Amino acid sequence: MIERIPILDISPVIFFGGEFVPAKAVAGEEVTISATIIREGHAGLKAYAVLANSLGKEISRSVMREVWQGTDRYEGVLTPPSEGEFTFFIEATDPEHVDEVASKSASFPIRAERVRALFGSWYEFFPRSEGATKNAAGTFATAAKRLPAVADMGFDILYLPPVHPIGYSHRKGANNSLTALPSDPGVPWAIGNKDGGHDSINPELGTMADFENFVKEAKKCGLEIAMDLALQTSPDHPWVKTNPDWFSYRADGTIAYAENPPKKYQDIYPINFDKDYEGFLAEVLRIIKLWVSKGVTVFRVDNPHTKPLHFWQELLALVYKESPDVIFLAEAFTRPAMMHALGKAGFQQSYTYFTWRTSKQELTNYGYEVARDTSAFFRPNFWVNTPDILPFHLQSGIPAMFALRSVLAATLSPSWGMYAGYELYEHRAMKESGEEYVDSEKYQIRIRDWEGAAKKGVTLAPFITSLNQIRRDHPALQRLRNLIFHNTGSDSIIAYSKRDGNDLVLVVVNLDPTFAQETTVYWDLKALGIDEPTFTVTDLLDGSTFTWSAITFIRLDPSRPAGKVAHIATVNLK
């Protein structure tokens, strides 16, 4: 039944799997509530967005205002004050009878999670490479020595590839060779051998006690540990014998290995979710609880798009009920509909297409998509590279390209990440037409001379440190929905802003890593909330100050010895 004053097309409302699921927020984050509200004739109306707690008690309300006159589209802002479950609804009244509610919408859920679900800087390394020498692989003990350096760069989360025992059957060798030498360590995602499976530690890295100590040392440095959750096995995993119903079989009775045509993964068995769903669900829940008890608070889930959606929805709901602080990142480079569905199913974050968005138009379109169109259910994490992905634009090895891509990732999205070696400009590809690293760390141990690179000055680490410090100092960069792009006169320069309260940050990036580019930036002063014709900014990267206006000339030259790829400027608001 239509209400006396119809309230239509309410947002953010997420209907998924036959029910309304919570819109995403974090404690203290502003959430824009919008709706189309109409009434007959020419009489006016007043509308309010109302926030209620889990018991349905009103805790705050916001006046909704018409976005553009004559559109009947109204917006208001609600802010969940703490973590937890909330609902919101909309009231519309006759302005002449303010205390008499004419219409009230249904209530819709909002979930406010901890801030790290939205904002964080991620770093990935392989423990077996950290502290490795020509004669010995790295361990948790040697890798722990690298933790202060990661923390000093300003990262919040350290992501580890699987740390479990690695299978021997069909073990891959260097550069994905099908013939492994006795010295080849194997692919960490081929999980399981006689030493155990997903609930065990690879003895080559140390013991469970060593892992627990590693987690404690990370926390002392202010780092959370993200564990890889890869629901697959090697042919040697204990599940192959104890739970044969968890796998699919070929006509000849052998277990089917993983395939992603034309690629074949003979060293990995995928899971069949249809034969013993409840048993497998219980086992995965047990595994997650085990690692949470060891201090793990974040899970990076490998290939979640190849598993049933209802499995994730049920599993993540069970984990949230018991451990609401646990965060799940979906490693799902797949079709948008599936990526979005995983967010609706409960994943707090997801990998994104940012890695392949390079032009001004691509970045603008994708930035608006994740900041506006999908932000109610899909939180992006912008990664500049991964062990699987060496994008073509990095293969030149030009340091300025590494710098500008890190600026984009760190300022467009509140969560961003990089894989170790990025700061050393690692860029050699296995083949010209591919995006895989030669001598990939997935298949072998990589020894890096961090100290030598720092002494020679051939490292991006100081720049990364500055970026992460700027992010920590400026709340505007810790939000997603506040992204606004501004026009520029060149396709080689992109400009955008973020504002949170009195914190206003303007970013201008030269997308050309080789040559100086110059243009006029047309700042939308109304969108920025600036009333004066000119305003003073301070570049947070080098401390220089400028006077800018609605029409500002910008020149960025990355070719100089101390090349300038971007301005990240804070506005000195009066």
Going by pLDDT thresholds of 50, 70 and 90, the confidence category of residue 43 is confident
**If you average pLDDT over residues 55-77, what whole number do you get?**
96
> CA quadruple 192, 193, 194, 195: dihedral positive or negative?
negative
Exactly one of 302, 435, 441, 512 is catalytic; name it. Answer: 302
Q: Average pLDDT in the 495-502 region? A: 97
Nearest partner of 48 among 62, 66, 34, 35, judged by Cα: 62
Q: Taking residues 53-75, report their average pLDDT.
A: 95
> For residue 97, what pLDDT is reported?
65
Please tell me the number of Cα atoms within 13 Å of 64 on its side-chain side.
30
The crossing angle, in degrees rounded to 10, of helices 309-322 and 277-293 is 40
pLDDT of residue 1: 72
pLDDT in tens, 4-31: 899 999 999 999 999 999 999 999 999 9
Helix (H, G, I), strand (E, B) or coil at 435: coil
- H-helix segments, 131-262: 140-143, 147-152, 208-220, 239-242
| pLDDT at residue 294 tops 80 | yes
pLDDT digits (tens, 9 = 90+) for 406-450: 999 999 999 999 999 999 999 999 998 899 999 999 999 999 999
Residue with tokens 């709901």: 317
Asked whether residue 178 falls in the same domain as residue 248, the answer is yes
Is 558 inside a domain boundary?
Answer: yes
Is 59 part of any domain? Answer: yes
The pLDDT score that the predictor gives to residue 573 is 82
Q: pLDDT: is 198 or 39 the higher one?
A: 198
Same domain flag for 102 and 178: no
* Ramachandran class of 177: left when φ > 0, alpha when ψ lies in -120 to 50, beta otherwise: beta
Q: Report whether pLDDT(98) > 60.
A: no
The confidence score (pLDDT) of residue 4 equals: 86
CA–chain centroid gap for 13, Å, is 22
The enclosing domain of 58 has a CATH number of 2.60.40.10
The answer to the question of residue 384 being in a domain is no
- Confidence band for 40, pLDDT divided at 50, 70 and 90: confident
Q: In angstroms, rounded to a whole number, what is the distance separating the alpha carbons of residues 83 and 111?
A: 8
| The token pair that represents 435 in the structure block | 């995006």
* Residue 447 within any structural domain of the chain: no
Q: Is 263 exposed, middle or buried (0-12, 13-18, 19+ CB in 10 A)?
A: exposed
374-158-27-303 Cα dihedral, nearest 10 degrees = 30
Contacts of 254 (CB under 8 A, 6+ apart): none
Structural Rg of the chain based on CA atoms: 26
pLDDT band at 324 (very low <50, low <70, confident <90, very high): very high
Domain match, 81 and 174 both: no
Q: Which of 51, 82, 113 is the last residue before a domain boundary?
A: 113
Count of all residues that appear for the chain in the document: 574
44: pLDDT strictly greater than 90: no
Same domain, 104 and 173: no
Count of domains forming the chain: 3
Contact 45, 93 (CB under 8 A): yes
Indicate whether 122 belongs to any domain: no
* Structural domain includes residue 565: yes
Phi, then psi, of 381 in degrees rounded to 5: -130, 115
Residue that terminates a domain, selected from 270, 294, 319: 270
- Mean pLDDT, rounded, of the chain: 96
| DSSP track, 76-112 | EEE---SSEEEEEEEEEE-TT-TTSEEEEPPPEEEEE
Q: Give a yes or no: residue 20 inside a domain.
A: yes
The verdict on whether 331 is a catalytic residue reads: yes
| Residue 204 annotated to the active site | no
pLDDT for residue 297 is more than 70: yes
User: Which one of 87, 113, 139 terminates a domain?
Assistant: 113
Residue 42: the pLDDT is: 76
Closest CA to 138 of 458, 450, 385: 450
What pLDDT, on the 0 to 100 scale, is given for residue 394?
Answer: 98
Cβ-contact 440, 402 below 8 angstroms:
no
What average pLDDT does range 508-527 have in this prediction?
97
Question: Domain range holding 531?
Answer: 481-571
CATH of the domain at 540: 2.60.40.1180
Place of tokens 């025992």: 165
% of the chain with per-residue pLDDT over 90:
93
- Residue-level pLDDT at 95: 83
Average pLDDT of span 367-386 = 98
pLDDT for 572 equals 85
Asked whether residue 51 carries a pLDDT value surpassing 80, the answer given is: yes
Q: Of these residues, 83, 113, 267, 331, which one is catalytic?
A: 331
For 212-271, what is each residue's pLDDT tens digit? 999 999 999 999 999 999 999 999 999 999 999 999 999 999 999 998 777 788 899 999
Asked whether 496 and 482 are in contact (CB, 8 A), the reply is: no
Residue 485, in any domain of the structure: yes
